[in-house]
Amino acid sequence: MNAQPELTQALLYLDGVSVSFDGFRALNNLSLVIGPGEMRAIIGPNGAGKTTMMDIVTGKTRPDEGDVLFDGRVDLTRLDEASIAELGIGRKFQKPTVFESQTVEDNLLLALKGPRSAAASLFGWRNRVKASELDGVLETVGLAEHRARLAADLSHGQKQWLEIGMLLAQDPKLLLVDEPVAGMTDAETEETARLLTRIAGNHAVVVVEHDMAFVRALGCKVTCLHEGTVLAEGPIDAVSANERVIEVYLGR
């Protein structure tokens, strides 16, 4: 492992990560560095490796090569999915998976009481937020007025925010969010950008999304993946003006 000076600063550090499925290179020498509390948008065409990248971070997929470090010291390639979650890495899949028959508040309480293992103390994960901090989570995800409603009665967007709240209740250091605004109304999309912006700072947030207006609203650094590697990275204006990015993604 080649230790870089920035290693100690990075919350998530991927370097030279490659993985193949049946000879097809889904990730090809991918390097990505996310700082503590940073918000990062990941864009790129279908099959670029965005989901595979998140699978590597959460331990669902093992890389063939490369370094995957969390918090500057923990080698994620040696841990299973449960241990990685306990370290403080939360993942939000595209479809909401809330408990429909429970109220908003009870969904959050269930998340607070979620399973913990000895790994939590072993790896020094901080305590989950306390029940008394539930109000703060409800405020953050904009559901304070809806706390007594059944999750089943929420709009699609509100269910997505509730699930983000359930992840926040576990006080992750890093949140991976997959296409959060797919299927949302324009108003919900704008609210989601505000919500994630509120969350970043206290938690690093990596958002995979195709909706470029939403990505712009996040106001963060953007990484465009293509063929399993970084094609362009930087401010949205620079990335969206990049000729290769236009050619393989935006211009289609």
Residues that bind ligand ATP (CB under 6 A): 21, 26, 44, 46-52
Q: What amino acid is encoded at 249 in this protein?
A: Y
Q: Which is nearer to ligand ATP, 53 or 151 (CB)?
A: 53
Q: Which among 84, 41, 92 has a CA at the least distance from the CA of 211?
A: 41
108/15 Cα distance (integer angstroms): 35
- For the CB of residue 80, give the shortest distance to ligand ATP in the complex, in Å: 17
Looking from the CA of 42 toward its CB, the CA atoms found within 13 Å total 29
Q: Which is nearer to ligand ATP, 26 or 134 (CB)?
A: 26
CB atoms within 10 A of CB 152: 12
- For the CB of residue 214, give the shortest distance to ligand ATP in the complex, in Å: 15
- For the CB of residue 156, give the shortest distance to ligand ATP in the complex, in Å: 19
Residue 33's DSSP bridge partners are 13
Q: Which is nearer to ligand ATP, 26 or 236 (CB)?
A: 26
93/70 Cα distance (integer angstroms): 20
- For the CB of residue 11, give the shortest distance to ligand ATP in the complex, in Å: 22
- For the CB of residue 207, give the shortest distance to ligand ATP in the complex, in Å: 13
Q: Which is nearer to ligand ATP, 48 or 79 (CB)?
A: 48
- Checking DSSP bridges between strand 39-43 and strand 221-226, what pairing results, if any? parallel
Q: Which is nearer to ligand ATP, 21 or 122 (CB)?
A: 21
